[in-house]
Structure formats: structure tokens, C-alpha cells
Amino acid sequence: MNGKRILLIIGGGIAAYKACELVRLIRKQGGDVTCVLTEGGAHFVTAMTLAALSENPVHTTLWDLKNEVEMGHIQLSRQADLVVVCPATADLMARMAGGIANDLATTLLLATDKPVLAIPAMNVRMWQHPATVRNVATLRGDGVAVMQPDEGAMACGEFGPGRLPEPVVIAAEIARMLGTATGPLSGKHVLITAGPTHEPIDPVRYIANRSSGKQGFAIAAAAAQAGAKVTLVAGPVNLDTPQGVTRINVETARQMAAAVDAALPADVAIMVAAVADWRSAGEAVQKIKKDGSGQVPPLQLVENPDILATLCKSDRRPQLVVGFAAETNDVLDHARAKLARKGADWIVANDVATHAMGGEINGLHIVSAAGVESLPELPKAAAAAALIERIANALA
């Protein structure tokens, strides 16, 4: 971040203490930080601490006679290369979305002509409240980059999405937005599939599976944080797109196969999606009705395209192809067989009898020609980071 100037607005939440570490990381990477401490934020960290870490004056009020004679809030809002709001509380984001300018922080945000990155942190129910959902959508629609909060235990004692991401992750996103990212996958294109596919039977029914897409989306987020250009081909899931990821939505296996082919070339392909093996031979144009006879209408199935095997045989095959195998028994034996059958470099296997699809914890086994590496049980974001670290090492 050498020579880059960051204006850091610190909101009034318990996660404000992590802003101190964020300032340290930005300075360590050569960036210049000017802090704006809100009234609420001052209840958690002090201006003296932030001034010592940033080696710059800390601004706390709009009513500073010396600065405002020279329209200091306008200068602050325009001099930075990036404006970062951390933590972005529910109240602060509501005022941002409404265009309210009733203190120094919100006035700066309304006056700036520079990119803005907001990092939310709040109680899980506040994050999921319809008002916050609307406000986040409004901010993103206005061009503000809003990071997804982490999931986990919170200071309030509850568990779920709403935790502030770790400062090292935030610093990586700042570097990415500034165009200075130098992560281990910088310059690499990573292609990822995630979620289920839906194979129509008639206008109201389809063949599907229990995949939530969470692990694939977590891997996409980790790859982006590692500096990669990431293309995520996603089946029908209700998940937010990770920051810095290009998302392509599909529904069926055939659509996913076409999207994967169109996204090539790539350096790495990570095929996490739980693609339906079969589809209906013919989709009914109208809903199939019971006729009262007790006879079950026949459902003829045909095999879907094998996206992983096709990719492995392609003349545009990525340097590293990673497949996934969700198994309920004989996990490693099935994974080894799939590795040989598909022609992938790695198969990442997980036992969905132990770690149900849609859960928050995963236990991954990386199967390759070299053997098996079993990762400990981890939250999906941590499992994703561990996998991306190994992929980066393999490409180094």
C-alpha cells in the first residue's frame, strides 16, 4: 500500500478495538491512515491510541473551528484514496443509506468522491433484520463495497453472522480495492463452482440435492482474499456474493457446464458444486397431475454432462483441477476411485453423514497421487482458507 492514503472511520461498536490492529497492518504495508473517531467509537478506543498507531491527528468532530474555516471535512473526504468504515454499525449504515449527514463521519461519507468500503459488525439479529438488509442493498446499489461479516461467537453471547472479519482479511480487501494486492494467488484466475443444480421435471418440480453452497462460496472468498481473479459459477442458492468475486448464476447442470467452458482459461478450477447426476429425459410443459388411478407416472432419467471429467480432458485444462466428493460411507476409497476416474489432480472428500450439507463445520480430506492429507474439523471459512493455502503452495 506504499503511498496510498486511507481515511478510516471508526463506528461505535465493541469491534472498534480491532480497528487498532487494522491501522497497524495498513501502516506495516506502507499505507497512510487518517482516523475519524465517532462519538460511539470513542467509548471503545481512544483518540490517543489511534494517533499513536497512525502517526496522524485523529478527527472527532465536525465543529472544529480551526479545520472548518478551511472546510476541513471536504478536504478529508477528497484527499484519501479509499474511505473505510470499520466497524460499520447498523446505525451508521442506516444513516449512510439514508444520506444523513449529522456528524463528521456521515458528512465525510456524503461529501466524498472516493471509493468506500464498509465492514459491518453487529448482533446476528440486527444483521438479519429487514431494515439492515434493505440498507446494505441500498449501499451496494449506490456503489459502496460492503464486506460480508464473519460467522461465530459474539460479545453479546449469541452465535451467527455479524462478527467483524479479522483485521488481516480486511487489510487484504483494502489492498485489493486499491489495486495493490500481492497475495499468493495474485495474477491467477481461479474458477469455482458451488451449490446444487436444479433439473426440471415440470414447471413446479425439479431434481435437486441438499447442497447449500456455503463451502464453495467460502473458497471463492478465500481465493479472492489471496489476490486471485475469481469466477464463481453458482447454482440456485441464497448467498451473498463474496467481495471481489465475479458470480455467474445458473440452474441446471447443462447451464453450469456451459458457464464453466465460457469462463476458461483459468489457472485453477475448484469444482465444489454438487451437480445432479441425472435429469428428466423430457421436461413436461404443464404440471403433472394425479389422475386418481393410483398409477405413478414414469420418470425417465438421462445422465447429465460430467463437468469435472470434461474439464480434465479439455485442451484448455487448468494447471490444477480440484474436484469435490460428498460421500456417506467409505469416504477415502470413493475419493481415490473418483480421482482415477475423472482425471483430476486432487479430490477433496467430505463425509456428509458426519458433517451434514448446509452445516457450518467441515472435515476435508485432500486426496491426490501423493496420498491423503486430512484437515481437522474447521468452520467452513477456515477450511476454505486452508485449502487455498495448499493450492497456492502447489502453484508456487
- Supply the residues annotated as catalytic: 156
Q: Judge whether 208 and 276 are in contact, CB under 8 Å.
A: yes
Query: Between β-strands 361-362 and 364-368, what pairing exists: parallel, antiparallel or unpaired?
Result: unpaired
Sign of the four-CA dihedral 283, 192, 143, 86: positive
Hey, what's the torsion of the CAs at 313, 314, 318, 323, to 10 degrees? -50
Q: Judge whether 144 and 84 are in contact, CB under 8 Å.
A: no
CA distance 38 to 105: 7
CA distance 199 to 210: 13
CA distance 196 to 150: 23
SS (H, E, C) 203-271: CCEEECCCCCCHHHHHHHHHHHHCCCEEEEEECCCCCCCCCCEEEEECCCHHHHHHHHHHHCCCCEEEE
Could you write out the DSSP letters of every residue in 311-326? HHHSTT--SEEEEEEE
Query: Is residue 1 exposed (0-12), middle (13-18) or buried (19+ Cβ within 10 Å)?
Result: buried
CA distance 195 to 42: 42
Could you write out the DSSP letters of every residue in 42-57? GGTS-HHHHHHHHTSP
